[in-house]
Amino acid sequence: MKRVEPGPGQESVWDYPRPPRVEPTNKLVEVFFNGTRIAESRRAKRVLETSHPPTFYIPPEDVNWHFLTDSARHTVCEFKGVARYHSLVDGELRSVDAAWSYPDPVPAFEAIRDHLAFYPSRVEACFVDGERVVTQEGDFYGGWITRDIVGPFKGGSGTWGW
């Protein structure tokens, strides 16, 4: 693994902390599913963690809940607590466990309580300030890669040991 040096206006995921931190962003964050914008916010939070592209958490009031159903899936993050998953449904189209949230996060992550994070690979498209997000490799992480983020990124084949 060789670190990519960031250029002007870029961030390296290798400068992100571990444990992760939460920071607000006023960038326009959008999520589309089956031709419909299901989330739009300038009040999202970014979670930044070493070797991972940012994960964007969108306030619940900026999400169209009409398309979401709760899933039976739950996972535990060593830093944030227990995550609850949500599936997207629009007519016959379904995306299982496309989003997750923390209804009762640990105190350090109170800022993302009930906010939704979406896997870019499980929706039609995600955008940050009009730039279409590139999906982080692998199915475990839900990072959003934009041109202002450099890696290499954990998630792809052979990166679990990093």
0.75 cut: is pTM over it?
yes
| CA-to-CA separations, 91 to 34, 67, 77, 88, 122, in angstroms, rounded | 10, 9, 32, 10, 16
CA atoms of 88 and 95, how far apart (whole Å): 5
- Burial readout 43-77 (b: 16 or more C-beta within 10 A, e: otherwise): ebbbbbbebbbbbbbbbeebbeeebbeeeeeeeee
pLDDT digits (tens, 9 = 90+) for 52-96: 999 999 999 999 999 999 999 999 999 999 999 999 999 999 999
Q: Would you say 156 and 132 are in contact if contact means Cβ atoms under 8 Å apart?
A: no
Total number of residues shown for the chain: 162
60 three-state secondary structure? helix
pLDDT digits (tens, 9 = 90+) for 93-151: 999 999 999 999 999 999 999 999 999 999 999 999 999 999 999 877 899 999 999 99
Percent of the chain with pLDDT over 90: 91
Percent of the chain with pLDDT over 70: 100
